[in-house]
Amino acid sequence: MTWSNIRYILGALALAFAVAYGAAAGLTGSPTLEQSAKAQMQGFVPGGAKDNAPLPWGPIRKGLEGKSNVKGPMANKLVQSQGEEWRNFKNGPLSQFGGWLLLAILVVLVLYRVLRGRIDIDAGPSGRTIERFNALERATHWLTASSFIVLALTGLNVMYGRYFLLPVIGPDAFAALTYYGKLTHIYIAFAFMVGVVIMFVLLVRHNIIDATDFNWIAKGGGLFSKGVHPPAKRFNFGQKCIFWIVVLGGLVLSVSGVALLFPFEITPWADTFAFMNIFGFGLPTDLTPLQETQLSVLGHGVAALIMIAIIIAHIYIGTPVGMEGAIGAVASGQVDVNWAKEHHSLWAAEMEGEAPPQPQTGEQPAE
């Protein structure tokens, strides 16, 4: 190869390098041309090609709309920066809150069992029973309870499964489990909604707070002292709280869940915030459909985590592990007469046609 050929090749390579470098410098900026730092300031993306004005990243990040061939409510919006804030909150504080809440309720129940022990029938079983719940009421309870358990498990899998299940069963099994769990969650949700509505219709008249409940609260419901049994009607204050938590929490879960099934069509939060603003909350009401969906996810998650924690405690106190004689109410519908007299004395007297017992003036000694 002659020296002239070598010079020709080197010259061609140098020219190619110069062209490539010039193009790169023009498009992305070059430290030697002092473009990089300046081009990335003041919210502008680097760029200086002919007939191509710098892209205003700041307005785009704040929701600037353009034009798109894609049709849809949010198709013309390139970026919604609140989405990253929403994702960070959902995977950060919300996830951590739920984890600590569920752990806390389990620790509290273990400590309660160790320190208080099981709540027994102080007088012992009488051998006689009375009906506490009829067949329709029991069917409604199990419809609501069983569907909620399925919803809780499939929902917890979506929130925490990637951290606990995925490493154990592997990506393929986890993907299949989560996919079919999502479908199950969607369809079983309607059974839960029906159960909550029927339960409300059947039992709301028995769950109105009255003066009897204040005495029950003052005595701690007898939950912390053996032999203490404040008078109560068919439902005591604790059970009334469970009822309203299930009804109101179920309402939040149902509305937010349906809104997630039909995004951009059902948008409940703007109207909800407008109502809350009557009481001085000062919440935003100009919400995009995407913001409505994000709020539905958060509302659904918060309500679900709180309800799961409370229902865990409810399950504990309703089993033989937590209380003697309680499970019969939702199993056969029958409860022991002595159990009824100790925990629901006013209701038991009404059922047996007796005069209601007088309110206790002090704590009874432990037997």
pLDDT tens profile 199-214? 999 999 999 999 999 9
C-alpha–C-alpha distance, residues 329 and 157, integer Å = 31
Contact 144, 152 (CB under 8 A): no
C-alpha–C-alpha distance, residues 351 and 345, integer Å = 10
Q: Which helix (H) or strand (E) element contains residue 27?
A: helix 3-28
Average pLDDT over residues 86-106: 93
Pick from 268, 267, 252, 260: nearest CA to 306: 252
DSSP-assigned states of every residue in 307-334: HHHHHHHHHHHHSTTTBTT-THHHHTSE
Predicted local distance difference test score (pLDDT) of residue 69 = 72
Domain ranges of the chain: 83-352
Q: Which residue has the higher pLDDT, 122 or 35?
A: 122
Tokens representing 36 are: 């990089």
Q: Which residues contact 169 (CB under 8 A, 6 or more apart)?
A: 177
Q: Which helix (H) or strand (E) element contains residue 21?
A: helix 3-28
Question: What does the pLDDT look like over 229-264, one tens digit per residue?
Answer: 999 999 999 999 999 999 999 999 999 999 999 988
- The CA angle 155-160-161, to the nearest 5 degrees, is 85
Task: Evaluate if residue 320 carries a pLDDT over 90.
Answer: yes
Predicted local distance difference test score (pLDDT) of residue 352 = 84
Question: What does the pLDDT look like over 73-90, one tens digit per residue?
Answer: 666 677 777 778 888 999
C-alpha–C-alpha distance, residues 222 and 216, integer Å = 8
Predicted local distance difference test score (pLDDT) of residue 82 = 76
Q: How confident is the model at residue 35 (pLDDT cuts 50, 70, 90)?
A: very low
Residue ranges of E strands in the chain = 129-131, 334-336
Domain 83-352 in this protein, CATH class: mainly alpha
Average pLDDT over residues 322-351: 95
Contact 247, 197 (CB under 8 A): no
